[in-house]
Amino acid sequence: MSLLDVRPDDRVLEIGFGAGLAILQLSRIAREGYVCGIDHSELMLRQARRRNAAGIRRGVVDLRLASVDALPAFDAPFDKILAVNAVLFWTEPDARFAQLRHLLRPGGLIAVAHQPRGPGATDETSATRGREIAAALTRAGFSAVRVETLHLRPAVACALGVNAAGP
């Protein structure tokens, strides 16, 4: 989330918000903007709505039951898009990234983070997955694609890309 450099008036979309922890932090930063999240789990939607009740009441937070495989309609392009540990669950990631690029304003930024979990999870597993995600972003038309590593255990690889072409 820190790599997105979210501004107070940004429009931000999180794919797979889970319990809504990042949504809460994003809405505190984009306090004059709009923070939208989609998740396919009704349980996560309920938890995130409780956690983000104040932001929802203020009209800054919008949480939706939806999937990246069937994106809902949005009123305007986003400045930033975030997905954490979600890509592994997507069908046709290249096509999904292309769709997400069209949801970003020109110059908009996407950050896709992955931290491997479970037995055998290593820093190298994370680095490999980060390179794979970066390659998918490039194939989807993002520019200035790079991978940043957050040194946790195991490491978190975050692939970032810019929508240079616009929607």
Q: Which domains does the chain have, with CATH numbers?
A: 7-162 (3.40.50.150)
> What is the distance between the alpha carbons of residues 164 and 73, in angstroms, rounded to a whole number?
22
Where the chain has pLDDT below 70, the residues are: 166-167
Per residue in 6-32, pLDDT (tens digit) is 999 999 999 999 999 999 999 999 999
Beta strands 156-162 and 104-114 are antiparallel
Contact of 162 with 137, CB cutoff 8 Å:
no
